[in-house]
Amino acid sequence: MKKVSYVLLIFLLLILFVGVFAFINQDKLVDRFISRQSDAVSFRYELLDMDGTIKLVTVGTGSPLPGDRVRSCNAVFVGGKFFVFDVGPGASRAIESLRLPLDRLEGIFITHWHADHYMDLPELINRSWLMNRTNDLHLYGPDPLDTIVNGMRQFLEVENHFRLDHHGPEIIDIDLGLPISHLITLDAEGYSKVYDRDGVVIEAFGVNHEPIHPALGYRISYKGKSLVISGDTKRSDQVIKYAKGADILLHEALGFDLIKRAIVIQEEKGNKRNATILTDILDYHTSPKEAAEVAAAAGVKKLILTHLGPAPENPISRRFYATDLEDIYEGSVLLAEDGDIYTIE
């Protein structure tokens, strides 16, 4: 009992001491708090280290189906450069939350013009600019890139000029408020080398996401390492061709078996619209088993499934994604989560 009283007394004295210390130093503590709040965000610049690796951050792993996941977005750090592949809804905010170095963003690559892949584009361009990006931002994408860029220019210019009026040209470089656009056109083989600088090569290839045409996948190569992003596609031989021997294949996958059961349930409920949309979806996406077949045929080292819908947030829905794949593909199969980081060393 006596021992307990001593502990209690020491505890109370400690609280008293902390209270008195905080009271005496309250101005300093408030200043420190305000200083931290008003400083630039503490970005994770170490991701830009030139350590010979390719780092993939699966920022958004959701699909257009309802769910809490951020929609399609992947950040890639390679050779001291920061690129983003697709900017689905929620992506820009998630990139900031993950403290990815927005002020060093160099390029945005879009796979195709479905809303779940580009709705956050103006937001990301604007946020990187306001976060003091001092380099040009390059936007790469397929047709109709010009239509998107023209609309976005009108959309952003109002805000950009207000910022200039507020802070003046010393602070605001109006020219950096909009991206430099690069239309990707594929050759007869469905291929285009998009980027080749400082040892970093980014190639685009056409995939099968009809009626969207073209829809692209990307291969990022650096110092003998490679990462392939399928984009949205049905099972595609093009992915097999361009993913040959890749260290990571990040492939889209929808829970086909789960969706097929949902179609039956929606039909039973008389909800024809939902049943029709879910049936259509199966025509332009890939099942987990098909993604595993592609990974096996391409001989990739690791398969990561993303664009997961319905999102596998519990053991029941996870079961529909990553089971019975080991007979098809020997490598490891992972389900991407928002904010995961993978390093190819």
Rounded least distance, CB 110 to Zn ion, Å:
11
Rounded least distance, CB 250 to Zn ion, Å:
13
Binding span for Zn ion by CB under 5 A among 50-58, 97-105, 230-238, 291-299: 230-238
Q: Indicate the residue type of 294.
A: V
Q: Which residues contact 256 (CB under 8 A, 6 or more apart)?
A: 282, 285, 287, 288, 289
Rounded least distance, CB 63 to Zn ion, Å:
6
Q: Indicate the residue type of 244.
A: K
Tokens 């040959």 belong to 244
- If one asks whether residue 232 binds Zn ion (CB under 5 A), the answer comes out as yes
Q: Which C-beta is closer to Zn ion: that of 179 or that of 309? A: 309
- If one asks whether residue 103 binds Zn ion (CB under 5 A), the answer comes out as no
Distance CA 217, CA 228 (A): 7
- If one asks whether residue 86 binds Zn ion (CB under 5 A), the answer comes out as no
Q: Which C-beta is closer to Zn ion: that of 203 or that of 232? A: 232
| DSSP codes of every residue in 47-77 | GG--SS-EEEEEEE-B-SSSSSS-BSEEEEE
- If one asks whether residue 114 binds Zn ion (CB under 5 A), the answer comes out as yes
Q: Which C-beta is closer to Zn ion: that of 116 or that of 338? A: 116
CA atoms within 13 A on the CB side of 234: 11
Binding span for Zn ion by CB under 5 A among 37-45, 123-131, 137-145, 225-233: 225-233
Rounded least distance, CB 111 to Zn ion, Å:
8
Cα–Cα distances (Å) from 95 to 16, 76, 167, 277, in that order, read 41, 12, 25, 31
Distance CA 172, CA 261 (A): 54
Rounded least distance, CB 199 to Zn ion, Å:
31
Binding span for Zn ion by CB under 5 A among 106-114, 181-189, 292-300, 309-317: 106-114
Per this entry, what is the length of the chain? 345
Binding span for Zn ion by CB under 5 A among 109-117, 129-137, 139-147, 330-338: 109-117
Cβ proximity of 116 and 88 under 8 Å? yes
Q: Which C-beta is closer to Zn ion: that of 129 or that of 205? A: 205
Closest CA to 55 of 101, 111, 118: 101
- If one asks whether residue 116 binds Zn ion (CB under 5 A), the answer comes out as yes
Rounded least distance, CB 159 to Zn ion, Å:
27
Please, what's the b/e burial string for 23-57 (b: 16 or more CB within 10 A of its CB; e: otherwise)?
eeeeeeeeeeeeeeeeeeeebeeebbeeeebbbbb
Q: Which C-beta is closer to Zn ion: that of 81 or that of 112? A: 112
Phi, psi of 230 (to 5 degrees): -75, -25
Binding span for Zn ion by CB under 5 A among 150-158, 177-185, 224-232, 315-323: 224-232
Rounded least distance, CB 72 to Zn ion, Å:
6
Rounded least distance, CB 239 to Zn ion, Å:
14
Count the site residues for Zn ion by CB under 5 A.
Answer: 3
Q: Which residues bind Zn ion (CB under 5 A)?
A: 114, 116, 232
